[in-house]
Amino acid sequence: MMKKLEQLYEGKAKKVFATDDPNIVLVDYKDDATAGDGAKKGTIRGKGVVNNKLTNNLMKMLEEKGVPTHYVQELSDRETLVKKVEIVPLEVIVRNVAAGSFSKRLGVAEGTALKCPTLEFSYKNDEYHDPLINHYHALALGLATQQEIDTISSYAFKINDILKEYLLGFNIRLIDFKLEFGRLPDGTIVLADEISPDTCRFWDATTGAHLDKDLFRRDLGGEEEAYQEVMKRLLGV
């Protein structure tokens, strides 16, 4: 049994603890929610449990299909052991349908299906509000190597193909999502962070109802129920 040692980090939605294995850390998912670059703060009751279980379920499924991830073992409703990685400071965003910042920036109505999936990078930098960059910027700033960017891009599109089909089986349309990748000590790139209604846009495939954090971001209400609904559809609990 791995011991939970000192807290290493506290983010907006998760805390990270050391364990007695230097290569493994423990992630503890919180119910805290933020939106609008931290302008809105609140709680989505039960979110931590949903995001922990959904992330683990999706990462296990992706592993089986050939995408390496940081996942090791679920310990409890909110706690999971993951491989310790150095996070590549990029938010990797894949889109199938126009929404959110893409719609605003480019004047494309939310809900417009894109002719092919898109990939974009934001530089993970709170002070500069995670600015959108291209892959040349990432190289020039030394955020990742060309080889790493190639690997990350190919995993991102593969993950999109797998998730899109998987979610449609639960009558959920995958609009867009954000991924983060990490480096193992030997340099191997693995999927890290989370895959949850905090980091994906999920729309009911029949009604178009939001089943994600946009309910909280946009003060639409019903976010607790929506998170539970996604967990119920995917995990049956």
Task: Summarize as ranges the residues that interact with ligand UDP (CB under 6 A).
Answer: 91, 93, 99-102, 130, 176-178, 199-201, 213
CB nearer ligand UDP, residue 179 or residue 190 = 179
Q: How far is the CB of 14 from ligand UDP (least distance, A)?
A: 13
How is residue 128 annotated by DSSP? G
Kindly state the smallest distance separating residue 194's Cβ from ligand UDP, in Å. 9
User: Considering beta carbons, is residue 111 or 187 the nearer one to ligand UDP?
Assistant: 111
CB of 21 to ligand UDP, least distance (A): 29
* Helix ranges, the chain (H): 47-64, 100-106, 135-140, 146-168, 214-217, 223-235
Cβ closest to ligand UDP, residue 83 vs residue 178: 178
Q: Which residues does 22 contact at the CB level (< 8 Å), separation at least 6?
A: 84
| Minimum distance of ligand UDP from residue 200's CB (angstroms) | 5
CA distances from 152 to 92, 182, 192, 202, 218 (A): 8, 10, 11, 22, 30
Select 218 or 232, whichever has its Cβ closest to ligand UDP. Answer: 218
Closest distance to ligand UDP from the beta carbon of 145 (Å): 24
Query: Which of 50, 89, 26, 41 is closest to 202 using CA atoms?
Result: 50
Instruction: Give the angle subtended at the CA of 32 by the CAs of 172 and 12, to the nearest 5°.
Output: 95
How far is residue 133's CA from residue 150's CA, in Å, rounded to a whole number? 16
The span from the CA of 100 to the CA of 215, in Å, is 12
- Taking CB atoms, the residue at the shortest distance from ligand UDP is 100
C-alpha distances (whole Å) from 91 to each of 41, 117, 129, 234 are 21, 16, 12, 25
Q: Which is nearer to ligand UDP, 19 or 43 (CB)?
A: 43
Whose Cβ is closer to ligand UDP: residue 19's or residue 123's?
123
Q: Which helix (H) or strand (E) holds 181?
A: strand 172-183
The minimum distance between CB 141 and ligand UDP, in angstroms, equals 18
DSSP 69: B
